[in-house]
Amino acid sequence: MGQWTHRSLSPFSLIIHCFFLSILKCANARFVTFEPGYEYIYRFNSTSHINEVGQFVLQAKVSYTNIDQLPDGQELLLRIHTFSFTSVKQPDVRDNSLDFSNWFSFIISQQGEIEHVYHPKGEDGEVLAIKRGFAALLSGKFHDQHEVSSSDKQSDSWEYQTKEFGHEGNHNATYTVIRSPDGHIFKKVREGHQVPNAKSRYEKTLHYHDKLGTIHRVLVDEDFTLPGVAHPG
């Protein structure tokens, strides 16, 4: 079996239709706050490389709409407007066979934890995995500086460790947070992988915008190698 390696660098940039969003102040910081009734549209680009197979490009346009405001979170409706997965060697050959028209929504806390997902029974497994992946891009455990007891309150950066379960499986993670001119930048480094003995590195950087009141850009950088596979050379 050849080596299977995955690497992606995925800018997730926000196109937003309103700029008058307010920020509510509370004891716990709120980092995922979509204004009810507005559709937030993101464009997704990813490049993956599989050794001995080739390079592939994924492009999509997805949106999130707050359809139910909850005491400590929101139910977000996910829509996939466009989706294409192509080989760099054959860019004109596109996989358009997947049907994303069925309902998919999820409840996410204002600190970024996904609590429930809703979808029809019998949904196609591949479609469901893709939708869960787009939901997970916004997820995390986001803490402001005053919520981290060990942080230096005079510093512009802080760090904390978490235990998490979700689309990425059970794992420990370390977050490093820095203040930016627009808000905060959260960098998550995942420890280990749900595949036993696999070699992996996973970093997700999320940009929070103070005035927009939510995450507006996500970068994912990941390497993965199946266990028991020798490196070439």
pTM of structure: 0.74
95: burial class by Cβ within 10 Å (0-12, 13-18, 19+)? exposed
At residue 50, the pLDDT reads 64
Domains of the chain: 5-225 (2.30.230)
Residues in contact with 214: Cβ distance below 8 Å, sequence separation at least 6, in sequence order: 31, 32, 33, 34, 40, 208
At residue 12, the pLDDT reads 39
Per-residue CA distances from 154 to 115, 143, 183, 207, 225 (Å):
33, 16, 16, 21, 41
Average pLDDT over residues 159-165: 85
- Tell me: the pLDDT tens digits for 56-82? 888 899 999 999 999 989 999 999 999
Q: Which letter does DSSP use for residue 146 in this model?
A: G
